[in-house]
Amino acid sequence: MLAEWLDASLDGKTPATRRGSVNGGRFTLTGPGLLELVPDDPDPDARACVLSAGIHGNETAPIELLGDCLARLEAGQLRLGAPLLVILGNLPAIRAGVRFVDTNLNRLFRRDLDERGDEPDRARELMAAVDAFFTRHPERARLHYDLHTAIRDSRYPRFVVEPWAESRTPAEQWRWLAAADIQAVLHQHQHSWTFSHYSKHYHGAAAFTLELGRVRPFGANDLDALAPMGRLLAALLGGQTPPGADPARMVFFRVAHELVRHSNDFRLCFADDTPNFTEFAPGTRLAEDAAAGAFTVGETPLHVVFPNADVELGARAALLVRPAPRPDERS
Ligand SMILES: O=C(O)CCC(=O)N[C@@H](CCC(=O)O)C(=O)O
Ligand SMILES: [Zn+2]
């Protein structure tokens, strides 16, 4: 039934059953692409977990990873021990195999959003679903992993973006992510209005955007490389403490500058296939924009992440980042 939910959501069909039992609990399909699971006998320390995928429609590995977790729950190989909200984000974009249909859903997660259209409407539905879920479990620590894959190759194929917010990320997260074979962490420097930022900013959740390899079509993903991440998700679903490892395995970066596309006459001055985290030396010209002028690296090197010249006007065309101290080493 749960694995069918995934297929039915992607096919645009209404599943026949909206409620039912799973090993250790109950599930409810609360809306298109929205599956809520409640354990009968939750572990007292279990987190209230939001796991989302498909916020960008062509990022399929996370959907396969979540499908695998749900199939194992259904087969009785996992037992539900934590409240869980599973989300498939942009259903029309997933069906079309594109990043988005009209506008980038992952820039719309703000409560004062007044834009109109399908993606803004979906952002409002998803924000309401997250609000209702966390409100139903007020006593529990909150967690949101928003699972993505990146457009380009990367010097660190698996990395997380930590959204900026007032609340501090619990130290256990760095140990869990290291054990899940995450290779790098990127701290945001300002509000970003992404889905993970929403849960951290408005709900104080431990929240990340996880980049789990590169964009590929369904069936072409290397799920073996994601087995340690699958173990982290399975432990969260089971309400157990996930395995931990030394965070020093990961490399930490912080955003220094956001390159924004201000005009139609905008270009990045490096090759399209430049991998994420590539370093550029002082004096290198990185972008030219008819409205904002050129951007050149200053006195310290910068690494480029998520370069994309083909974004909407006013949108982020790249993050420029620098190595940062580990959170446990910060003063
Ligand atoms: O590879 C790329 O250029 C984009 C991959 C992607 O979708 N990344 C997320 C990161 C969100 C964040 O900054 O937290 C995005 O751009 O929405
Ligand atoms: Zn994405």
Ligand 2 center to 64 CA (angstroms): 15
For 71, other C-beta atoms within 10 Å of its C-beta total: 14
Average pLDDT over residues 230-234: 98
Quote the pLDDT of residue 77: 97
Which of 58, 214, 306 has most ligand 1 atoms within 8 Å of CB, for mutation? 306
Q: Which of 249, 273, 298 is the last residue of a domain?
A: 249
8 A C-beta contact, residue 88 and residue 67: no
Residue of 16 and 205 predicted with greater confidence = 205
Quote the pLDDT of residue 11: 84
Nearest ligand 1 atom, CA 197: 14
- Per-residue pLDDT of 5-61, as tens digits, reads 888 888 887 777 789 999 999 999 999 999 999 999 998 999 999 999 999 999 999
DSSP 211: E
Average pLDDT over residues 250-258: 98
Task: List the single range of 47-61, 85-99, 239-253, 315-329 with lowest mean pLDDT.
Answer: 315-329
Indicate whether 277 and 210 sit together in one domain: no
Indicate whether 154 and 89 sit together in one domain: yes
- Per-residue pLDDT of 146-167, as tens digits, reads 999 999 999 999 999 999 999 9
Sequence letter at residue 321 = V
Q: What is the dihedral of CA 184, 189, 192, 196, to 10 degrees?
A: 40
Nearest ligand 1 atom, CA 99: 7
8 A C-beta contact, residue 170 and residue 322: no
Indicate whether 186 and 299 sit together in one domain: no
Average pLDDT over residues 209-227: 97
Is 172 annotated in a binding site? The answer is: no
Examine the pLDDT at 229 and tell me if it is beyond 90.
yes
Quote the pLDDT of residue 7: 83
Indicate whether 321 and 173 sit together in one domain: no
Quote the pLDDT of residue 86: 98
Quote the pLDDT of residue 145: 98
- The CATH number linked to 301 is 2.40.50.630
Q: Which of 188, 220, 249 is the last residue of a domain?
A: 249
- Per-residue pLDDT of 100-112, as tens digits, reads 999 999 999 999 9
Indicate whether 233 and 323 sit together in one domain: no
Which of 98, 107, 148, 216 has most ligand 1 atoms within 8 Å of CB, for mutation? 148
Indicate whether 109 and 195 sit together in one domain: yes
Q: How many domains does the chain have?
A: 2
Indicate whether 156 and 233 sit together in one domain: yes
8 A C-beta contact, residue 205 and residue 168: no
Indicate whether 132 and 272 sit together in one domain: no
- The CATH number linked to 227 is 3.40.630.10
Phi then psi for 276, rounded to 5 degrees? -55, 145
Ligand 2 center to 331 CA (angstroms): 32
Ligand 1 center to 321 CA (angstroms): 14
Examine the pLDDT at 331 and tell me if it is beyond 60.
no
Ligand 1 center to 306 CA (angstroms): 6
- Per-residue pLDDT of 287-301, as tens digits, reads 999 999 999 999 999
Which residue, judged by its Cα, is nearest atom 15 of ligand 1?
A: 106
Is 187 annotated in a binding site? The answer is: no
Q: Cβ neighbours of residue 217 under 8 Å, at least 6 residues apart? A: 58, 60, 97
8 A C-beta contact, residue 4 and residue 16: no
Q: Smallest Cα–Cα separation from 180: which of 251, 243, 222, 252? A: 243
Indicate whether 230 and 257 sit together in one domain: no
8 A C-beta contact, residue 113 and residue 123: yes
Quote the pLDDT of residue 114: 96
Is 257 annotated in a binding site? The answer is: no
Q: Smallest Cα–Cα separation from 174: which of 182, 56, 313? A: 182
Quote the pLDDT of residue 330: 65
Indicate whether 243 and 264 sit together in one domain: no
Read out DSSP for 88-135? E--HHHHHHTSS-SSS-GGG---TT----SHHHHHHHHHHHHHHHHHH
Pocket of ligand 1 (CB under 6 A): 56, 106, 148, 150-152, 161, 163, 192, 194, 196, 209, 306, 308
Quote the pLDDT of residue 144: 98
Average pLDDT, the chain: 95
Q: Which of 199, 214, 249 is the last residue of a domain?
A: 249
Indicate whether 68 and 192 sit together in one domain: yes
- Show which residues are catalytic: 211
Nearest ligand 1 atom, CA 307: 3
Q: Which ligand is nearest to the CA of 54?
A: 2
Ligand 1 center to 107 CA (angstroms): 10
Domain that holds residue 323: 251-329
Indicate whether 309 and 180 sit together in one domain: no
Average pLDDT over residues 216-226: 96
Quote the pLDDT of residue 6: 83
- Per-residue pLDDT of 183-202, as tens digits, reads 999 999 999 999 999 999 99
